[in-house]
Amino acid sequence: MTREDIAQAVIDIITDVVPDEDCSTLDPAVALREQLELDSMDFLDIVMELRKQHGVEVPEADYPALATLNSCVDYLEPHMKDK
């Protein structure tokens, strides 16, 4: 997957987790929780869907790496680039 593919995969997951939010105008450099109504359970949903859909395990210690869309892609790229 390219970085663009990975970003879209994350957006697709977030869109499913918070379906009332507009995810089309996300600033990739700004924290997701500053742009969306994301609570801790929603965040765990995102982690679960990464596991289910893409086989990526995100340990709790790495959760801060998922703060922004850009940091998500940086973190996920090594795990997803060959998928």
**3-17 vs 69-80: helix crossing angle, rounded to 10:** 120
Under rule CB under 8 A, how many of the chain's residues touch other proteins? Answer: 14
How far is it, in rounded angstroms, from Cα 41 to Cα 38?
A: 8
Determine, following the binding rule CB under 8 A, whether residue 60 of this chain makes contact with other proteins.
no
Q: Which of 30, 38, 34 is nearest to 14 (CA)?
A: 38
Name residues contacting other proteins, limited to 29-58 (CB under 8 A): 37, 41-42, 44-45, 48, 51-52, 57
Q: Which residues bind other proteins (CB under 8 A)?
A: 17-21, 37, 41-42, 44-45, 48, 51-52, 57
